[in-house]
């Protein structure tokens, strides 16, 4: 056993005749802030979906803290949190109602949910509007709530799929601060992004995925700087447009 909190071996995913993942091996160490970078259609979201148990692999295995995602999904799900790319919240519910629902799914009691919701809403700058229906909120506010909905049960590993897409600079900065704080608290973070600057600022390691394979591994990307990171990324993945 490698001691990794996440261990992926020989992961293959095919959709009909198309291969999305083609034999991925990946270890994520406890306490890492891992960035999964790659062009459009590289297989980042598919990889995240399979590690979190949303989709089933065609072949290969995924273990989270030594629990097989296929054989013991409830064990794994109790330890992880996922922030999907979409705003995965009910628009006609208030922020508190959304958090109460998702907290209940993890078996938390009402008082625990209330206590943790208050703290997280405060931290995300949303407490004043916590009793409003979120349909009328800005994209940035919804994104922040989307994030804290995955933190209520205090997961050991947090997965984020492009959490800062389409939000303004202020919301993005607030999200970065929140993620740094979560990571500093001991949570392992795995996230996908297109932004080199984001990866350079946040990640302790970057893995580059392309054509369904791991094609690059960069330790301490902050030391390289965003420009160097982008240069490395283009050198590995090439400059050809990825329009699919």
Smallest distance from the beta carbon of 208 to another protein, in angstroms?
Answer: 24
| Rama region for 171: left / alpha / beta (φ>0; ψ in -120 to 50; rest) | alpha
Residue among 51 and 218 whose Cβ is closer to another protein: 51
Token pair in block for residue 110: 């009402």
Smallest distance from the beta carbon of 81 to another protein, in angstroms?
Answer: 7
Residues at the site binding another protein, with contacts judged by CB under 8 A: 49, 52-56, 74, 77-78, 80-82, 84-90, 92-93, 97, 100-102, 104-107, 133, 149-150, 159
| CB atoms near residue 50 (< 10 Å) | 25
Residue among 92 and 244 whose Cβ is closer to another protein: 92
Burial of 11 (0-12, 13-18, 19+ CB in 10 A): buried
Smallest distance from the beta carbon of 86 to another protein, in angstroms?
Answer: 3
Residue among 126 and 218 whose Cβ is closer to another protein: 126
Residue among 50 and 178 whose Cβ is closer to another protein: 50
Residue among 78 and 226 whose Cβ is closer to another protein: 78
| CB atoms near residue 95 (< 10 Å) | 27
Smallest distance from the beta carbon of 228 to another protein, in angstroms?
Answer: 34
| CB atoms near residue 117 (< 10 Å) | 24
Smallest distance from the beta carbon of 75 to another protein, in angstroms?
Answer: 9
Beta strands at 59-64 and 33-37: parallel, antiparallel or unpaired: unpaired
Distance of CA 176 to CAs 9, 201, 202, 208, 233, Å?
A: 30, 9, 7, 21, 22
Q: How far apart are CA 207 and CA 229, in angstroms?
A: 11
Residue among 58 and 204 whose Cβ is closer to another protein: 58
Distance of CA 55 to CAs 14, 48, 52, Å?
A: 11, 9, 8
| CB atoms near residue 60 (< 10 Å) | 16
Smallest distance from the beta carbon of 121 to another protein, in angstroms?
Answer: 18
Q: How far apart are CA 46 and CA 223, in angstroms?
A: 29
């Amino acid at each position: 056993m490698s001691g990794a909190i996440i261990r992926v071996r020989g992961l293959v995913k095919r959709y009909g005749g198309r291969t999305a993942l083609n034999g991925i091996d990946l270890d994520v160490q406890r306490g890492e802030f891992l960035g999964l970078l790659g062009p459009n259609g590289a297989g980042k979201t598919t990889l995240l979906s399979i590690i979190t148990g949303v989709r089933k692999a065609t072949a290969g295995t995924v273990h989270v803290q030594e629990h097989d995602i296929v054989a013991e999904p409830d064990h794994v799900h109790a330890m992880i949190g996922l922030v999907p790319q979409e705003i995965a919240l009910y628009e006609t519910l208030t922020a508190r109602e959304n958090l109460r629902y998702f907290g209940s799914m993890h078996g938390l009691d009402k008082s625990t949910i209330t206590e943790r919701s208050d703290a997280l809403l405060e931290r995300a700058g949303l407490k004043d509007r916590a009793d409003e229906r979120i349909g009328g909120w800005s994209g940035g506010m919804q994104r922040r709530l989307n994030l804290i909905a995955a933190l209520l049960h205090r997961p050991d590993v947090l997965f984020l799929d492009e959490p800062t897409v389409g939000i303004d600079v202020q919301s993005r900065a607030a999200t970065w601060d929140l993620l740094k704080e979560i990571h500093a608290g001991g949570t392992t973070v795995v996230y996908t992004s297109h932004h080199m600057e984001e990866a350079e600022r946040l990640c302790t390691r970057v893995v580059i995925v392309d054509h369904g394979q791991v094609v690059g591994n960069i330790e301490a990307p902050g030391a390289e700087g965003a420009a160097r990171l982008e240069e490395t990324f283009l050198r590995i993945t090439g400059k050809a447009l990825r329009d699919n």
